[in-house]
Structure 1
Amino acid sequence: MAVKITFRDNLPPVMKGQSRIRPANAQPENEKVKEILTELDDLIGLGTVKNLIYELQAFIEIQKCREKLNLTSEPTVLHMIFSGNPGTGKTTVARIVGKLFKEIGVLNKGHILECERADLVGEYIGHTAQKTREQIKKALGGILFVDEAYSLARGGEKDFGKEAIDAMVKAMEDQKNNLVIILAGYKNEMDFFIESNPGLRSRFPIHIFFPDYSAEELYAIGESMLSKRQYELSPEAKITFKKKVQYTNSLHPYSGNARMVRNIIEKTIRKQAVRLYQKAKPSREDLIQIKEEDFRD
């Protein structure tokens, strides 16, 4: 019987720059695992998500230790449900999980194959199973990440989406040691999808909810995006950017979270380019600095 792993609510959240929740005498990690977990730690927010990923890692490692000592170990059923609004980090975390699972010996490749309904569902009887098997074959050794997975059940019993679900369930049995499937989508839709299919509920024991980012987290994400692209905000631009993020988020709280910030950043960089293009020889500082006027619509 698969063990359902849930997050312990009494654990404090992990923010960017803080250590993960782990005992001081925890088993040493190899350098590659450390790099992967640092990448996870460096994500803005997502405290409960980070803690649960660490719990999964600890669970897997301890089961391996029990096996080595000929103790009974729990089956590691690692298929997951990622629920939350768009732009809350689901795909990013799935990629990190794939790399982590490779390094700790769960998957032999650790890559992630992203797909949606159109990649799985065909136009006639038998076509869907074939398309789904093709995607599963590409995902073997890694993660099959199905976005908006609830759309597979929208058409009712006669919809070909059910055929895709059946093909995935079969693969979960046939390839249980060589494949992890993550179904992702909006929380309410995913809850309904899983509750309406008891077979799926038992096969996906790990449910991770990705909360929306706060305005402060969205601002930090924006600053991080700019820094990686070698841009800096002037003091006045910082104030304007904060106000713009807060205002846009208040108008469209579910408009994409980090994607909304990315759109603002990309538009601002274009505005800066137009401003600088009018200069004969922009300096290095000019090319780096984002000014308040670059945020004007």
Structure 2
Amino acid sequence: MSFLDYPAETLQLTNRIKIPLTGTQETLMGPLIARARDARMPQPILNDIYAAQILDWIDHDIEKFHVDDTQATMHALRASCIDRWVIEFLTNNPECTVVHLACGLDSRWQRIQPDLTRVRWIDLDLPDVIEIRNKLIPNPEGNYMLVAADATEESWLQQIPADRPTVIVGQGLMMYLQEEAGKRLIQRVVEHFNSGQLIIDCVGTIMLSLQHRIETLTATGSSFQWGVDEPKTLENLHPKLTMLECLGPAELGGFSQMPLGTRIMLSTYSYLPWFRYLSSYVRFAF
């Protein structure tokens, strides 16, 4: 039985799951806290009630991440954008494969609710992350696979059939990889699957020098490794890659709930070439 089968109020603190992760792996807590905080707002963007439930069943120091309402809203907008792209792909390709890299404790399949009699869904993360995920999130019935592997290794791909259009999602992954490892990962997945889309987010190189201000990184002792200033240049990694859409922070929309100063800052970013892709949300066809 998963913790999702119990009412949260019946669980004592001693029964809750500890998160013994450090460094980059511990960063999975930041997005989880943000999604849960958004779900508890009067007007949530993502409304990920599953994230709120999962967070209730975790014993961890969440205060050190300093996730406020603005950060929660920003994360919810990013996740909502990527969810929307995945849903669009599923609509156009009802019998397809979804590969969710670095899934962490993300409840994306629960939010999207794909028809797993027609869709093959694969969640992948490192073994110790998958061990924790198994304790907190029940696997759905249907064509679902949970893979414990390093996304940058080659062996896991051999487990995944390439017989359907495939969408690969890598949110919160590429910036933590060494540049060559990230590029090789993109090349491998595009080469393995016959057709589909690649959906990722990136940070610009300026973020590499500003990362000491990012609470999730300072709280976990992790760091960004790879900055991409012009996401379209990633097309050069493989002849099949074509960029379909690239959004900067100011282009995500939905900022009405943010403080005026934040809205002005984001608007300013959209006019400054070196700030426009401070972070970017990109989808490619292949």
Which category of TM-score, normalised to the shorter sequence, fits these structures?
0.3 to 0.5
Structure 1 length as normaliser, TM-score? 0.31
Higher helix share goes to which structure? 1
Instruction: Compare CA radii of gyration and give the structure with the larger one.
Output: 1
Higher strand share goes to which structure? 2
